[in-house]
Amino acid sequence: MKIIVVGCGKIGTYIVGTLAAEGHDVTAIDLSESVIKSIADQYDVQTLVGDGTDYDTLQEAGAEECRLFLAMTTSDEKNILCCFLARRMGAHHTVARIEKPETSDRELAFIKQQMNISMFLNPSQIVASELFNMLKLPSGMHADYFARRSFEMVEMKLPADSSLDGMTLIDMRKQYKGKYLIVAVGRGDDVFVPDGFFRLRAGDRITMNASPAEADRVISELGFSTIASRNVMILGGSLTAMHLGKMLVELGTTVKIIEEDRDRCRDLCEAVPEAIVIHGDGAHGDMLMEEGLENCDAFVALTGMDEENILMAIYAASQNVGKTLAKIDRTEFSNLAMKLGLMGQVEPKKLVADLIVRYARAIENAVGNNVETLYKLMGGKAEALEFNVRQNFKRAGVALLNLNGQIKPNILIGGIVRGDQRIIPGPTDSMQVGDRVIVVSAGHTLYDLSDIFVE
């Protein structure tokens, strides 16, 4: 699919790389020659130095035959204009990055209609929503939902004293009974799609698929607290902090935001009047303690420095704060934070890129692709996809037991929804026409349910 990306900052560049890895025909446009040179050196994509609001630049990039046009600069107005021009030139779908908090939903809806823009994308709001969902789960866990929330896929880290250390998945199912399935395991830099004989280790990151109610029960039995955060401290008064603060106070959570810039503190007080806003340098542990860190059940580090976010989140954990989360922009720091034992983290560029990949596959779905939902797991090293079983599916009705050897390695059928039934599949279950099937995959790019089979 022909895709154009205008604006190649941290987020735009990561999107370019992700879409190129998906096999799309990508053209990257940026005003900076050095940025474009770096992209050309890293990825197999077309590159162009130029302005996305310039007609000749868009024409040279092939906007008239573009199926997906992404405007990812740091200027809302420029992104909107880029999308408007690209659409008029023939681009099928346009996505504009929007950041300004003063732009109302009503105004965005009007612009979207008048400018014929397919979607607005707000990275700060996306990150805040992810953090909000993690705060509702124990120990900074992450959850994705499938088949209209019929299944919840929860990612968690096994602590050093975990009862699962050394246990095979077969033994785990015997001891912790229920309708759930461990569909992926991360260990160091490796990711596994496990079978029943896989042996878990303390420190593993595991992804479990189950109904939301069943997931809560199993998580509780494993010893993780399921109490939602009620007293949250946020370090850094960014736009993400503002969006997250709004979400939390609407839930009845006590929120305290610590910000070093006095003017930004005033803006936060106006935007989130229910929150307590503290002017000060939260990079000092003494100040955090003075502001009641030990009484918080969650701490979120959202400054503009990865190092500070990691260190202060780890410090908060050392003070027995139940949940500690950090925003991390650089992938190498994300890997380091994981090794240092940070409970939860978010990478904005990955969250945005994952959303774009899902949107791109949805476009392809309209022309024959069969992916309904897609989420990246284990830092992007595995995928969970939802497919519809269509009339032309040749293996409909065949028991999974009889498909042994036909399914590619590192692929697992993780769940089946049939009408009102939620099925955690066993050997005698099968995929039927009309089912919604959840597939977990590592090392494969899947566009259709038939892609899971060896040719």
pLDDT at 368 (0 to 100): 46
331 token code pair: 């992938």
What tens digit of pLDDT does each residue of 278-292 get? Answer: 999 988 888 999 999
| 338 and 373 share one domain | no
State the CB neighbour count (10 A cutoff) for residue 103: 14
| 302 and 403 share one domain | no
Residue 395 pLDDT greater than 80, yes or no: yes
pLDDT at 298 (0 to 100): 92
**pLDDT tier for residue 327 given thresholds of 50, 70 and 90:** very high
Average pLDDT of every residue of the chain: 90
High-pLDDT (> 70) share of the chain, %? 96
Q: Is residue 109 part of a domain?
A: yes
pLDDT at 377 (0 to 100): 85
What tens digit of pLDDT does each residue of 334-375 get? Answer: 878 877 777 688 999 999 998 898 888 778 765 445 666 778
In angstroms, the CA 93 to CA 103 distance is: 22
In angstroms, the CA 234 to CA 277 distance is: 10
pLDDT at 284 (0 to 100): 84
| 325 and 255 share one domain | yes
pLDDT at 269 (0 to 100): 96
91 token code pair: 């681009």
Domain edge (last residue) among 221, 256, 278: 221
Q: What mean pLDDT comes out for the span 58-73?
A: 96
| 111 and 169 share one domain | no
Domain count, the chain: 4
Coil, strand or helix at 332 = helix
| 443 and 389 share one domain | yes
62 vs 331 pLDDT, higher one: 62
Q: What mean pLDDT comes out for the span 57-78?
A: 96
Domain range holding 108? Answer: 2-121
Q: Is residue 117 part of a domain?
A: yes
Q: Is residue 356 part of a domain?
A: no
| 21 and 110 share one domain | yes
pLDDT at 367 (0 to 100): 47
DSSP 431-454: --TT-EEEEEESS---SSGGGGB-
CATH number at residue 239: 3.40.50.720
pLDDT at 420 (0 to 100): 85
| 305 and 416 share one domain | no
In angstroms, the CA 256 to CA 13 distance is: 34
What tens digit of pLDDT does each residue of 89-141 get? Answer: 999 999 999 998 878 888 888 998 999 999 999 999 999 998 998 887 765 56
High-pLDDT (> 90) share of the chain, %? 62
Q: Is residue 312 part of a domain?
A: yes
| 339 and 244 share one domain | yes
**pLDDT tier for residue 255 given thresholds of 50, 70 and 90:** very high
In angstroms, the CA 167 to CA 102 distance is: 52
Q: What's phi and psi for 190, nearest 5 deg?
A: -100, 150
| 238 and 341 share one domain | yes
Residue 227 pLDDT greater than 80, yes or no: no
Q: What mean pLDDT comes out for the span 422-448?
A: 91
Domain edge (last residue) among 296, 311, 346: 346
Q: Would strands 142-146 and 151-157 be described as parallel, antiparallel, or unpaired? A: antiparallel
- How far CA 227 is from CA of 140, 189, 344, in Å, comes to 12, 30, 16
| 77 and 148 share one domain | no
Coil, strand or helix at 329 = coil
| 157 and 115 share one domain | no
Q: Is residue 402 part of a domain?
A: yes
Q: Is residue 38 part of a domain?
A: yes
| 195 and 150 share one domain | yes
Q: Is residue 353 part of a domain?
A: no
pLDDT at 370 (0 to 100): 64
CATH number at residue 423: 3.30.70.1450
Domain edge (last residue) among 221, 240, 271: 221
In angstroms, the CA 305 to CA 310 distance is: 9
Q: Is residue 351 part of a domain?
A: no
pLDDT at 228 (0 to 100): 67
Phi-psi region of 80 (alpha: psi -120 to 50; beta: other; left: phi over 0): alpha
Q: What mean pLDDT comes out for the span 191-199?
A: 93
Residue 445 pLDDT greater than 60, yes or no: yes
In angstroms, the CA 436 to CA 422 distance is: 10
pTM exceeds 0.75 for this model: yes
pLDDT at 125 (0 to 100): 93
Contact 328, 267 (CB under 8 A): no
Residue 301 CA, chain-centre distance (Å), reads 18
In angstroms, the CA 86 to CA 71 distance is: 10
269 by Cβ neighbours in 10 Å (0-12 / 13-18 / 19+) ranks as: middle
